[in-house]
Structure 1
């Protein structure tokens, strides 16, 4: 799975949710109901930083504030020959396996199998948020999942000057 314009169009309800809904014997319950019943507000508030991340601008690039370390970015600029887009792409990577390292991903809830959908949702949100935040830049969001499964679902982005339709 690799996508430069992520689109989360194949929305399947997560296994843990369908099981929860079955336990309540109510097929009309929605994911929003789950958040309310299970005290999800704390998690949603924390997730806002994942879906609508803070960013910083540095050396002509845009970086996730949480991932940004000036020395690290400077080293990438040196190693990649001042290729700003590649530096942004490497620095801005969010590997979902690393994000949820303390969550069992292979239990009965099948949460590991849900991560590709989460990656697409995250990528779609970043595309919209960053495009609105930086209207003078072309934002490219990439969602990937390594074929060999070595890194799991990963989301990153880079910027380039917006191309004017008027030349």
Structure 2
């Protein structure tokens, strides 16, 4: 999977959810029902920071606040010159395997197999949130899943000044 414009159009319900719905003997149950039945509000509230992240602006760039370190970004400017696209792309790079490092990804729930879909959903959210938050910038969100499996599903973004058609 690789996409520069994330699009999560062919959703497949996660295996754990399908089993849960079957256990309840009600195929009409939705993911929203699962959140309500399983006390999901705590998790959804925490997930808001993942799907709608806080950002900071520094040296003409936009960075995820949670991952931002002024010293590290300054080092990237030293190493990459004024290549803001690469600096933002590297600094904002989120590997989902790392986000869920304490979660068993290879158990019966097959959660590791669900991460590519989560990456696409996350990418779409970031695209919308960042575009609304920074209307004067072109936002590029990249979702990828390396073929060799070295990083797993990843999401990153970079910005550039918006190009006006009105000169």
Matched length: 167
- Residue 60 of structure 1 corresponds to which residue in structure 2? 60
Task: State the Cα distance separating 1:25 from its structure 2 match.
Answer: 0.2
Q: Deviations over 1:70-113 (max 9, x none)?
A: 00000011111121110000000110000000000000000000
Task: State the Cα distance separating 1:4 from its structure 2 match.
Answer: 1.3
List 4+ stretches of structure 1 deviating above 4 A. Answer: none
Give the TM-score of the pair, scaled to structure 1. 0.99
SS of the residue aligned with 2:66?
coil
SS of the residue aligned with 1:142?
strand
- Residue 34 of structure 2 corresponds to which residue in structure 1? 34
- Residue 92 of structure 2 corresponds to which residue in structure 1? 92
Give the TM-score of the pair, scaled to structure 2. 0.99
Q: Give the whole-Å Cα distance in 2 for the aligned partners of 1:146 and 1:39.
A: 34
Q: Give the whole-Å Cα distance in 2 for the aligned partners of 1:165 and 1:28.
A: 47
SS of the residue aligned with 1:66?
helix
Task: State the Cα distance separating 1:165 from its structure 2 match.
Answer: 1.3
- Residue 153 of structure 1 corresponds to which residue in structure 2? 153
Gaps of 5+ in 1: none
Q: How does 1:82-161 map to 2 (within 5 A)?
A: 82-161=82-161
Q: Give the whole-Å Cα distance in 2 for the aligned partners of 1:165 and 1:128.
A: 21
- Residue 16 of structure 2 corresponds to which residue in structure 1? 16
Gaps of 5+ in 2: none
SS of the residue aligned with 1:150?
coil
Q: Give the whole-Å Cα distance in 2 for the aligned partners of 1:41 and 1:61.
A: 33
**Cα RMSD (Å):** 0.5
Q: Deviations over 1:49-77 (max 9, x none)?
A: 00000000000000000000000000011
Q: Give the whole-Å Cα distance in 2 for the aligned partners of 1:17 and 1:37.
A: 12
Q: Deviations over 1:92-147 (max 9, x none)?
A: 01100000000000000000000000000000000000000000000000000011
SS of the residue aligned with 1:72?
helix
